[in-house]
Protein backbone atom coordinates (compact mmCIF):
# COMPACT_ATOMS: atom_id res chain seq x y z
CA UNK A 1 0.00 0.00 0.00
CA UNK A 2 1.43 3.39 -0.98
CA UNK A 3 0.27 4.92 2.30
CA UNK A 4 2.12 2.27 4.26
CA UNK A 5 5.44 2.80 2.49
CA UNK A 6 5.21 6.55 3.08
CA UNK A 7 4.58 6.03 6.80
CA UNK A 8 6.59 8.36 9.00
CA UNK A 9 5.69 6.63 12.25
CA UNK A 10 4.73 2.98 12.45
CA UNK A 11 4.04 0.43 15.14
CA UNK A 12 4.16 -3.28 14.44
CA UNK A 13 2.78 -6.05 16.63
CA UNK A 14 2.49 -3.89 19.72
CA UNK A 15 1.30 -5.46 22.99
CA UNK A 16 0.93 -3.63 26.29
CA UNK A 17 0.30 -5.41 29.55
CA UNK A 18 -0.63 -3.73 32.82
CA UNK A 19 -0.38 -6.62 35.27
CA UNK A 20 -3.13 -9.03 34.26
CA UNK A 21 -4.70 -6.54 31.81
CA UNK A 22 -3.77 -6.69 28.14
CA UNK A 23 -4.44 -3.11 27.04
CA UNK A 24 -3.07 -3.63 23.50
CA UNK A 25 -2.90 -6.88 21.56
CA UNK A 26 -0.89 -7.16 18.35
CA UNK A 27 -1.66 -3.59 17.27
CA UNK A 28 -0.35 -2.27 13.96
CA UNK A 29 -0.36 1.42 13.28
CA UNK A 30 0.97 3.91 10.77
CA UNK A 31 0.71 7.60 9.96
CA UNK A 32 2.28 9.65 7.15
CA UNK A 33 3.51 13.24 6.96
CA UNK A 34 0.67 15.60 6.13
CA UNK A 35 -1.92 13.04 7.13
CA UNK A 36 -4.56 13.53 9.82
CA UNK A 37 -5.46 10.19 11.39
CA UNK A 38 -8.47 9.80 13.66
CA UNK A 39 -8.29 7.11 16.34
CA UNK A 40 -11.62 5.95 17.71
CA UNK A 41 -12.73 3.29 20.15
CA UNK A 42 -14.84 2.79 23.23
CA UNK A 43 -13.65 3.72 26.73
CA UNK A 44 -10.81 1.39 27.63
CA UNK A 45 -10.20 0.32 24.00
CA UNK A 46 -6.51 1.24 24.33
CA UNK A 47 -6.37 4.56 22.46
CA UNK A 48 -4.50 6.57 25.08
CA UNK A 49 -2.19 3.65 25.83
CA UNK A 50 -1.19 3.40 22.16
CA UNK A 51 -0.56 7.16 21.98
CA UNK A 52 1.50 7.07 25.17
CA UNK A 53 3.64 4.37 23.57
CA UNK A 54 4.05 6.41 20.37
CA UNK A 55 5.08 9.46 22.41
CA UNK A 56 7.57 7.66 24.64
CA UNK A 57 5.65 7.73 27.94
CA UNK A 58 5.24 3.94 28.01
CA UNK A 59 7.46 1.30 26.47
CA UNK A 60 5.60 -1.40 24.54
CA UNK A 61 5.60 -4.80 26.29
CA UNK A 62 6.20 -6.35 22.87
CA UNK A 63 6.45 -5.04 19.33
CA UNK A 64 8.41 -2.47 17.38
CA UNK A 65 8.17 1.24 16.70
CA UNK A 66 9.58 2.51 13.42
CA UNK A 67 10.26 6.17 12.78
CA UNK A 68 11.32 7.34 9.34
CA UNK A 69 12.12 3.75 8.35
CA UNK A 70 14.25 2.90 11.39
CA UNK A 71 13.35 0.95 14.55
CA UNK A 72 13.35 3.26 17.57
CA UNK A 73 13.25 2.80 21.35
CA UNK A 74 11.98 5.69 23.43
CA UNK A 75 13.14 5.72 27.03
CA UNK A 76 11.04 8.79 27.81
CA UNK A 77 8.85 11.44 26.15
CA UNK A 78 12.03 13.47 25.75
CA UNK A 79 13.49 10.83 23.41
CA UNK A 80 10.34 10.95 21.28
CA UNK A 81 10.30 14.74 21.35
CA UNK A 82 13.91 14.86 20.16
CA UNK A 83 12.72 13.02 17.06
CA UNK A 84 9.87 15.49 16.56
CA UNK A 85 7.03 13.49 18.14
CA UNK A 86 4.92 15.63 20.46
CA UNK A 87 1.85 14.78 22.50
CA UNK A 88 -0.82 17.26 23.57
CA UNK A 89 -2.39 15.80 26.70
CA UNK A 90 -6.07 15.78 27.57
CA UNK A 91 -5.51 18.35 30.34
CA UNK A 92 -3.10 20.37 28.13
CA UNK A 93 -0.40 20.28 30.85
CA UNK A 94 0.01 24.06 30.82
CA UNK A 95 1.13 26.22 33.74
CA UNK A 96 -1.88 28.49 34.35
CA UNK A 97 -0.05 31.21 36.24
CA UNK A 98 2.61 31.66 33.58
CA UNK A 99 2.24 33.83 30.47
CA UNK A 100 1.50 32.30 27.07
CA UNK A 101 5.02 32.73 25.74
CA UNK A 102 6.57 30.95 28.71
CA UNK A 103 4.14 28.06 28.30
CA UNK A 104 5.16 27.70 24.69
CA UNK A 105 8.83 27.34 25.56
CA UNK A 106 8.61 25.85 29.06
CA UNK A 107 12.02 24.33 29.71
CA UNK A 108 13.22 25.02 26.17
CA UNK A 109 13.49 28.80 26.20
CA UNK A 110 15.85 30.53 23.81
CA UNK A 111 18.83 31.96 25.61
CA UNK A 112 22.55 31.72 26.06
CA UNK A 113 24.54 29.43 28.30
CA UNK A 114 26.64 31.11 30.94
CA UNK A 115 28.63 28.65 32.98
CA UNK A 116 26.07 26.02 34.02
CA UNK A 117 23.12 28.43 33.65
CA UNK A 118 20.92 29.34 30.74
CA UNK A 119 20.13 33.04 30.64
CA UNK A 120 16.69 33.20 29.07
CA UNK A 121 16.29 35.84 26.41
CA UNK A 122 12.74 36.93 27.26
CA UNK A 123 12.45 39.47 24.47
CA UNK A 124 13.43 36.84 21.95
CA UNK A 125 11.09 34.28 23.56
CA UNK A 126 8.16 36.73 23.32
CA UNK A 127 8.97 37.60 19.73
CA UNK A 128 9.35 33.95 18.68
CA UNK A 129 6.14 33.00 20.47
CA UNK A 130 4.18 35.81 18.78
CA UNK A 131 5.55 34.83 15.36
CA UNK A 132 4.76 31.17 15.92
CA UNK A 133 1.19 31.96 17.02
CA UNK A 134 0.82 34.18 13.93
CA UNK A 135 1.97 31.36 11.66
CA UNK A 136 -0.69 29.13 13.15
CA UNK A 137 -3.27 31.96 12.93
CA UNK A 138 -3.83 31.81 16.68
CA UNK A 139 -5.01 35.17 17.95
CA UNK A 140 -4.35 36.23 21.54
CA UNK A 141 -4.39 39.68 23.09
CA UNK A 142 -0.79 39.43 24.18
CA UNK A 143 1.75 36.67 24.70
CA UNK A 144 2.18 38.08 28.22
CA UNK A 145 -1.33 37.03 29.19
CA UNK A 146 -1.38 34.28 31.83
CA UNK A 147 -2.85 31.05 30.47
CA UNK A 148 -5.44 30.90 33.27
CA UNK A 149 -7.17 33.93 31.71
CA UNK A 150 -7.76 32.09 28.43
CA UNK A 151 -10.81 30.18 27.26
CA UNK A 152 -10.66 26.41 26.80
CA UNK A 153 -10.21 26.78 23.05
CA UNK A 154 -7.40 29.30 23.44
CA UNK A 155 -5.69 27.03 25.95
CA UNK A 156 -5.94 24.13 23.55
CA UNK A 157 -4.45 26.40 20.86
CA UNK A 158 -1.55 27.34 23.16
CA UNK A 159 -0.99 23.64 23.93
CA UNK A 160 -0.86 22.95 20.19
CA UNK A 161 1.48 25.91 19.66
CA UNK A 162 3.73 24.49 22.38
CA UNK A 163 3.72 21.08 20.72
CA UNK A 164 4.65 22.53 17.35
CA UNK A 165 7.14 25.22 18.37
CA UNK A 166 10.13 22.97 17.73
CA UNK A 167 9.60 21.65 14.27
CA UNK A 168 7.31 18.77 15.26
CA UNK A 169 6.88 16.06 12.68
CA UNK A 170 4.17 14.12 14.50
CA UNK A 171 1.62 15.72 16.81
CA UNK A 172 -0.61 13.46 18.88
CA UNK A 173 -3.73 14.90 20.50
CA UNK A 174 -5.83 13.05 23.03
CA UNK A 175 -9.41 14.35 22.80
CA UNK A 176 -8.45 17.86 21.63
CA UNK A 177 -12.03 19.12 21.55
CA UNK A 178 -13.64 17.21 24.43
CA UNK A 179 -13.47 20.08 26.90
CA UNK A 180 -14.37 22.86 24.45
CA UNK A 181 -17.47 24.94 23.86
CA UNK A 182 -18.97 24.27 20.42
CA UNK A 183 -17.85 27.61 18.98
CA UNK A 184 -14.24 26.85 19.91
CA UNK A 185 -14.21 23.39 18.38
CA UNK A 186 -14.11 24.63 14.77
CA UNK A 187 -11.06 26.81 15.42
CA UNK A 188 -9.11 23.94 16.96
CA UNK A 189 -10.05 21.64 14.07
CA UNK A 190 -8.95 24.29 11.57
CA UNK A 191 -5.68 24.58 13.45
CA UNK A 192 -5.26 20.81 13.06
CA UNK A 193 -5.83 21.19 9.32
CA UNK A 194 -3.21 23.92 9.16
CA UNK A 195 -0.67 21.59 10.81
CA UNK A 196 -1.48 19.06 8.09
CA UNK A 197 -0.80 21.68 5.44
CA UNK A 198 2.57 22.33 7.06
CA UNK A 199 3.34 18.62 6.48
CA UNK A 200 2.89 17.51 10.09
CA UNK A 201 1.47 14.03 10.74
CA UNK A 202 -1.43 14.57 13.14
CA UNK A 203 -3.12 11.89 15.21
CA UNK A 204 -6.32 12.77 17.03
CA UNK A 205 -8.23 10.62 19.46
CA UNK A 206 -11.86 11.67 19.47
CA UNK A 207 -15.25 10.36 20.47
CA UNK A 208 -16.91 13.03 18.31
CA UNK A 209 -17.81 11.83 14.82
CA UNK A 210 -18.18 15.45 13.68
CA UNK A 211 -14.51 16.08 14.48
CA UNK A 212 -13.38 12.90 12.79
CA UNK A 213 -15.32 13.54 9.61
CA UNK A 214 -14.35 17.20 9.45
CA UNK A 215 -10.62 16.99 10.15
CA UNK A 216 -9.33 13.52 9.32
CA UNK A 217 -8.07 11.80 6.18
CA UNK A 218 -8.29 8.32 7.65
CA UNK A 219 -9.84 6.69 10.68
CA UNK A 220 -8.75 3.65 12.65
CA UNK A 221 -10.83 1.90 15.26
CA UNK A 222 -9.47 0.00 18.23
CA UNK A 223 -11.73 -2.50 19.92
CA UNK A 224 -10.73 -4.16 23.19
CA UNK A 225 -7.06 -3.47 22.52
CA UNK A 226 -6.97 -4.75 18.93
CA UNK A 227 -7.03 -3.23 15.45
CA UNK A 228 -10.67 -3.58 14.51
CA UNK A 229 -11.03 -1.60 11.30
CA UNK A 230 -9.63 1.34 9.38
CA UNK A 231 -10.54 3.29 6.28
CA UNK A 232 -9.97 6.51 4.41
CA UNK A 233 -12.75 8.85 5.52
CA UNK A 234 -14.08 9.15 1.99
CA UNK A 235 -14.76 5.41 1.90
CA UNK A 236 -16.78 5.06 5.10
CA UNK A 237 -19.77 6.51 6.91
CA UNK A 238 -20.50 7.74 10.40
CA UNK A 239 -22.73 4.78 11.05
CA UNK A 240 -20.07 2.34 9.96
CA UNK A 241 -17.47 3.98 12.24
CA UNK A 242 -19.92 4.02 15.15
CA UNK A 243 -20.45 0.29 14.50
CA UNK A 244 -16.69 -0.32 14.67
CA UNK A 245 -16.53 1.44 18.04
CA UNK A 246 -19.16 -1.01 19.27
CA UNK A 247 -17.31 -3.95 17.74
CA UNK A 248 -19.64 -4.63 14.80
CA UNK A 249 -18.85 -4.83 11.11
CA UNK A 250 -20.99 -5.11 8.00
CA UNK A 251 -24.76 -4.65 7.78
CA UNK A 252 -24.21 -1.12 6.50
CA UNK A 253 -25.68 -1.57 3.01
CA UNK A 254 -28.93 0.05 4.02
CA UNK A 255 -26.90 3.03 5.24
CA UNK A 256 -24.95 3.49 2.01
CA UNK A 257 -26.95 6.62 1.14
CA UNK A 258 -25.65 8.14 4.37
CA UNK A 259 -22.10 8.30 3.00
CA UNK A 260 -20.22 11.36 4.19
CA UNK A 261 -17.42 12.92 2.18
Q: According to CB under 6 A, which residues from 1 to 60 bind ligand ATP?
A: 18, 21, 23, 41, 43-49
Nearer to ligand ATP, 84 or 225 (CB): 225
Q: For the chain, state the CA radius of gyration.
A: 19
199 binds, among Mg ion, ligand ATP, none (CB under 5 to 8 A by kind): none
Beta carbon of residue 90, minimum distance to ligand ATP (angstroms, whole number) = 8
User: Of residues 16, 31, 41, 48, which one binds Mg ion by CB under 5 A?
Assistant: 48
Beta carbon of residue 14, minimum distance to ligand ATP (angstroms, whole number) = 12
Nearer to ligand ATP, 153 or 225 (CB): 225
CB atoms within 10 A of CB 260: 15
Which range in 42-50, 53-61, 109-117, 165-173 contacts Mg ion by CB under 5 A? 42-50
How does DSSP assign 172-197, residue by residue?
A: EEESTTTTS-HHHHHHHHHHHHHHHH
Q: According to CB under 6 A, which residues from 163 to 202 bind ligand ATP?
A: none
Beta carbon of residue 228, minimum distance to ligand ATP (angstroms, whole number) = 12
Beta carbon of residue 37, minimum distance to Mg ion (angstroms, whole number) = 16
Residues 121, 110: contact at Cβ < 8 Å?
A: yes
Residues 36, 214: contact at Cβ < 8 Å?
A: no
How does DSSP assign 69-126, residue by residue?
A: TEEE--SSHHHHHHTTEEEE-TTTT--TTSBHHHHHHTT---EEEETTEEEE-HHHHH
Nearer to ligand ATP, 125 or 229 (CB): 229
Strand order in the sheet with 170-174: 85-88, 170-174, 201-205, 36-40, 218-223, 226-232
**Does position 49 bind Mg ion by CB under 5 A?**
no
Nearer to ligand ATP, 39 or 161 (CB): 39
Beta carbon of residue 22, minimum distance to ligand ATP (angstroms, whole number) = 8
Residue nearest to Mg ion (CB): 48
Compute how many residues bind Mg ion; rule: CB under 5 A.
Answer: 1
Helices 152-164 & 122-135 angle (0-180, nearest 10): 110
Binding footprint of ligand ATP on the chain (CB under 6 A): 18, 21, 23, 41, 43-49
Amino acid sequence: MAEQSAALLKAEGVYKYFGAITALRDVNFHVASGEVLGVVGDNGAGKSTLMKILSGLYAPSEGTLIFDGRPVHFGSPRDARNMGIEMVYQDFALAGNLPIYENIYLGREPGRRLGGLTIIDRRLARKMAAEHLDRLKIHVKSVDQPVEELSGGQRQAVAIARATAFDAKVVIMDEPTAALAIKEVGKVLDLIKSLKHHGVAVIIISHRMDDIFYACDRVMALYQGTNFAESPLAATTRNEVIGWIMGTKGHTDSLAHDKVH
